[in-house]
Structure 1
Amino acid sequence: MNPNHMLEQVAEERGSEVAIRFTSTNVTYSSFLDAVRRLTRGLYRMGIQRGDRVALMLPNLPQFPIVYYAVLRLGAVIVPINMMYKGREVARLIEDAEVKAIVAWSGAWDDFAHYAAVLNSIKHIIILGDSLPPNSISLTRLIARNNPMMDIADMDDDDPAVLQYSTGITGALKGAELTYGNITSNLVACRDIMRVTPRDTMLAVLPLFHPIGMTLIMNTSLCTGAAMELHPVFDPKIVAEKLKEGASTLFVGVPSIFKILLNHVNMEDGPPEKPIRLCVCGAGAISEDVLKQFEKVFGTYILECYTTNETSPVTSFNQWRTGRRVGSLGHPIPGVEMKIVDEQGNEASIGEVGEIIIKGSNVMKGYINKPRLTEEVLRDGWFHTGDLGKMDINGFFYLVNRKNDRIIKGGFSIYPTEVEGVLYNHPDVEEVAVIGIPDEVMGEEVKACVVLKEGATVTTEQLADYCRERMALYKVPAVIRFYKDLPRTSTGRLDKAELAG
């Protein structure tokens, strides 16, 4: 099913209602749909057809969802590009995806321009902004100068819709091919679990090029009739104030965002008079301490979920109907199966740590141009995540660690998230990453890379003593080093490879 059918129905019912709030501008559903239809016509006249790949490199602006839905309306394929990518990374991605057209923000184009000239697949360059490079077209004019196109391509569930790129531990690009069935089933499941209604307002700060932003924020809002309050960048002070104001009802974040927001409020203040209805946390485990503090300060409720690029992105959720377990990934969403398997592929016992594997309507077709890698991760219909987890007797799943992050010290397995969780609870610790480092005797030792809060005076030995009091001695970091900031990848994740180097 094409999600544009859902958008059409919503716009027909709620045409005069606000679809997107952006700074001082309100975009109604009627205006939004009109822009989508006009851009669809413009792309069609340029020769964009069913199955063509269109790269989308825009920040959080109203034009992002306009382009997204216009491309899908033609039955073409969206290739979202991380705005933090540099020119060389963008060129590699576009070459791998064989992109036919690119829609880009002028501010990001300069770094990429000299690579574009040698990429043969790009036939059309569409720019948002006042500065137009040679042989490019203005996105604003393309929308304004075309009449609306009413047709919507009817798509099969197995037709490709989105190429979601990420980098593996080797730095190689991986383009997960997500289908129209993947995208639609995931947004419907998430919408129902979150109980999104037209009365909701989504506070949108995660980048829409991120799969969580695309599905849990953009699609669940616009395909339901809710309003999306779109922020171009994440400003912790502004977002914390917005959460306190209570004008929005839904908020989706990642673990680091919830912790950062806590640092921008007065902990002694009571919860707001009109608290935000629901918060959702994906892309990693949030510490129990941060979760409970955030809920207390903002008077809200956080549901954790499990996401990967290859699963559109949501696989499991803490759900109202099955209850919540803090620190868990919840239960599989409708249409999805999960299980834990050992290294031989046998299903693990209750509580036993093994690899999380997934099967269902959310799982990608495969990685484009990488048949061998696809065969490695998709076996007998199951996607092998490379994540280590466990399941309790009530069917709740828990993330333990990445397979490749596990530290083996003297034959004992140590999972960095456990050590990080202890250090995160220290009042002087702002951020921490735990890695394994080579050791001649033990094979590996534990190293903690720590960012302290402003004004903190704790020493490395005091932090080590803190850990000794709270965990088995073999898990206590042998090396603790202070950093001003921790390195991150282009997708915003902690770059543990650089820390290890």
Structure 2
Amino acid sequence: MIDLNNPPSWPYYPKNVKYHLDYPPISLGEKLDKTANEFPDTDATIFFGARIKYQKLKELTDNLAANLQNLGIKKGDRVALILPNSPQAVIAFYGALKAGAVVVWNNPMYTERELHHQLTDSGSKIVITLDLILPRVLNIKAKTSLEKIVVTRLSEFMPPLLKLLYPVKVKKEKRWIEIPKESFILGFQELLKSPPQPLAKITINPEEDLAVLQYTGGTTGISKGVMLTHRNLIANAMQVNAWDPVRSSQDIILAVMPFFHVYGLSVALNLAVLTGATLLIMPRFNVDEMLKTIVKYRPTLFPGAPTIYVAIINHPRIKDYDITSIRLCISGSAPLPVEVKKKFEEITGGRIVEGYGLTESSPVTHCNPVHSLEKPGSVGLPLSDTLCMVVEPDTLNPVAIGEVGEVAVKGPQVMKGYWNRPEETALVLKEGWLLTGDLGRMDEDGYLYIVDRKKDLIISGGYNIYPREVEEVLYEHPKVKEAVVIGVPDEYRGEVVKAFIVLKENETATSEEIIKHCQEKLAKYKVPKYVEFRTELPKTTVGKVLRRALREEAKK
């Protein structure tokens, strides 16, 4: 039996990783200041070629913080951000934290209904947003607690030439937004100027004071604010860094994962600020733009989602791009197919290791070792100071090694709870353990294998079918680019497997061909009964396939 109180005794726990870390009792804003003092002339950000040094980033965040305080922001007030990856997002995040605020991240692609829920549930007083999103915010402002709207244009931190060309492009595409002259609408650049009064010192208790409300579907599908403290987020950045230390100013982190997603926040933005690395910022994922960016700026670290790596390995001209600067990728947000991992490593010569986490744990709890035994198909071992058990669903009774149960984790990165939802908090936090809602199994070496979400489990004729196992087989088919399976109703078996397939470019296949491939590798009850070919799959902004959308379609 694994000794849960002494994870380093596991035989393959990385020898270069300290299991117990010392977490400094400071806020995220203070950490930025320390990094700026240590690496003042290092590039903090690169955005379409425009660069901001760490010392300049400190000055900009100080100015924004002081001006937010002058607008009435006090410790604990919520400031909402609706921004794509950009220097503005970096400045707004750390500036709001320095002002003492709690940051509420929002997806720029959200509808008015979705934004309204998060802004009202959080009680946000100020929102910092992009001009293109402003009409949505104005339409719902009267029904929220918003007092001020701060607006920026994406071009504001671009190089001079692009700054001139950007308005022309946007106007040509008929996307130009005229910003109304209202007393409650402020320009972002105005808040970056020297403030009339200096920044007031805010005392932060890192273990108790919130840094972020990160909204998630949680256990019931109702969007809930996950309360993450300064300690949670600093600890998780330190845990990730301990796994394979960033080489400060020598490393460039490709930031294509959205900062408004907790994975991009921790493994790109906060990791860079923690270590003094450079953020190579991309506001959106476009495979052609990304490959050109990699060739030009030579990033070394590339946190991403499997769909991004799939797009790269299937690019028709991938051999024309030298992307061998990439030494390490940590894959998160969705399962990483083994075949995708193999092909990506062949192309880059670097390593790609699968990790695991969830919003409620800031998010990373596990990762495959970078320099010791890796077990493809698993999500690896717990990070520093992180405990893991596989338990009977909804209890803390451990199951036997190799048995499937619910994954429970404990560590300094685990959330404080759900915002204003004590009943929901009590359902998932028990005696300090976070019940993740994910089904998994642990082997005798301590490696965790995520089988699937409890709600994604397919039960066919009394047999449990875990979608990931079927999807791994589908990815082994040479013509398959992307694959996902769900359970659909069946009068006889209750549920049967349906597969949705996106084929590689210029490939054709039949349902019979796909089913025959699965029959050779899976038990009969696991083989898809139906196969549907698609040109694309419905996904979230971070590339996670929306099984829920496919299930809803299947009901119609």
> Normalised by the shorter chain, which TM-score bucket?
over 0.9
Counterpart of 2:431 in structure 1 is: 380
1:396 and 2:396 matched: no
Structure 2 residues not aligned, in runs of 5+: 1-25, 154-176
Provide Cα deviations, 1:437-481, integer angstroms capped at 9, x if missing partner: 111111111111112223222101111111111111111111111
Instruction: Decide whether aligned partners of structure 1 residues 42 and 368 sit closer, same or farther in structure 2, where only a CA change above 3 A counts.
Output: same
Counterpart of 2:280 in structure 1 is: 229
1:140 and 2:189 matched: yes
Instruction: Quote the Cα distance in structure 2 between the aligned partners of 1:94 and 1:114.
Output: 13
Counterpart of 1:11 in structure 2 is: 36
Counterpart of 1:127 in structure 2 is: 151
Counterpart of 1:285 in structure 2 is: 335
Counterpart of 1:54 in structure 2 is: 79
The one-letter amino acid of 2:434's match is F
Structure 1 position 169, deviation (Å): 7.1
1:80 and 2:105 matched: yes
Structure 1 position 305, deviation (Å): 1.1
Q: SS where residue 88 of structure 1 aligns? A: helix
Deviates more, 1:306-315 or 1:109-118: 109-118
The one-letter amino acid of 1:132's match is I
8 Å Cα contact 2:324/2:348 also seen in 1: no
Q: SS where residue 146 of structure 2 aligns? A: coil
Instruction: Quote the Cα distance in structure 2 between the aligned partners of 1:488 and 1:27.
Output: 33
Instruction: Quote the Cα distance in structure 1 between the aligned partners of 2:86 and 2:294.
Output: 20
Deviates more, 1:382-391 or 1:326-335: 326-335
Q: SS where residue 496 of structure 2 aligns? A: strand
Structure 1 position 224, deviation (Å): 1.2
**How many aligned positions are there?**
499
Instruction: Quote the Cα distance in structure 1 between the aligned partners of 2:28 and 2:259.
Output: 16
Counterpart of 1:99 in structure 2 is: 124
Provide Cα deviations, 1:275-328, integer angstroms capped at 9, x if missing partner: 312111111220111101100111100122112000011111223465322222
Instruction: Quote the Cα distance in structure 2 between the aligned partners of 1:495 and 1:222.
Output: 32
Alignment of structure 1 residues 104-253 onto 2, 5 Å: 104-119=129-144, 121-129=145-153, 131-133=178-180, 134=182, 135-146=184-195, 149=199, 151=201, 153-168=203-218, 171-198=221-248, 199-243=250-294, 247-253=298-304
Provide Cα deviations, 1:328-361, integer angstroms capped at 9, x if missing partner: 2111111221110123532111111110011111
Instruction: Quote the Cα distance in structure 1 between the aligned partners of 2:219 and 2:426.
Output: 18
Tell me which of the two structures has the higher relative contact order, counting C-alpha pairs closer than 8 angstroms and 6 or more residues apart.
Answer: 2
8 Å Cα contact 1:246/1:273 also seen in 2: no
Instruction: Quote the Cα distance in structure 1 between the aligned partners of 2:136 and 2:323.
Output: 46
Q: SS where residue 515 of structure 2 aligns? A: helix
Provide Cα deviations, 1:373-415, integer angstroms capped at 9, x if missing partner: 1111111211111100111111111111111111111111101
Structure 1 position 99, deviation (Å): 0.8
1:363 and 2:414 matched: yes
8 Å Cα contact 1:132/1:138 also seen in 2: no
Instruction: Quote the Cα distance in structure 1 between the aligned partners of 2:246 and 2:291.
Output: 22
8 Å Cα contact 2:235/2:413 also seen in 1: yes
Deviates more, 1:136-145 or 1:124-133: 124-133
Q: SS where residue 423 of structure 1 aligns? A: helix
8 Å Cα contact 1:4/1:152 also seen in 2: no
1:457 and 2:482 matched: no
The one-letter amino acid of 2:374's match is R
Instruction: Quote the Cα distance in structure 1 between the aligned partners of 2:204 and 2:211.
Output: 12
- Out of 8, 12, 28, which is 2:53 matched to? 28
Instruction: Decide whether aligned partners of structure 1 residues 65 and 396 sit closer, same or farther in structure 2, where only a CA change above 3 A counts.
Output: same
- Out of 325, 344, 348, which is 1:275 matched to? 325
- Out of 364, 372, 376, which is 1:314 matched to? 364
8 Å Cα contact 1:240/1:264 also seen in 2: no
Q: SS where residue 233 of structure 1 aligns? A: coil
Deviates more, 1:89-98 or 1:476-485: 476-485
Provide Cα deviations, 1:125-155, integer angstroms capped at 9, x if missing partner: 1111384333211111111242663745332
8 Å Cα contact 1:246/1:272 also seen in 2: no
Structure 1 position 181, deviation (Å): 1.2
Counterpart of 2:17 in structure 1 is: none
8 Å Cα contact 1:244/1:298 also seen in 2: no
TM-score normalized by the length of structure 1: 0.95
Percent same amino acid at aligned positions?
Answer: 37
Deviates more, 1:323-332 or 1:355-364: 323-332
Structure 1 position 65, deviation (Å): 1.0
Counterpart of 2:355 in structure 1 is: 305
TM-score normalized by the length of structure 2: 0.86
Provide Cα deviations, 1:253-279, integer angstroms capped at 9, x if missing partner: 01111111111255667x958531211
Instruction: Quote the Cα distance in structure 1 between the aligned partners of 2:543 and 2:290.
Output: 19
Instruction: Quote the Cα distance in structure 2 between the aligned partners of 1:246 and 1:7.
Output: 23
Instruction: Decide whether aligned partners of structure 1 residues 217 and 155 sit closer, same or farther in structure 2, where only a CA change above 3 A counts.
Output: same
Counterpart of 1:43 in structure 2 is: 68
Q: SS where residue 195 of structure 1 aligns? A: coil
The one-letter amino acid of 1:137's match is L
Instruction: Quote the Cα distance in structure 2 between the aligned partners of 1:88 and 1:111.
Output: 9
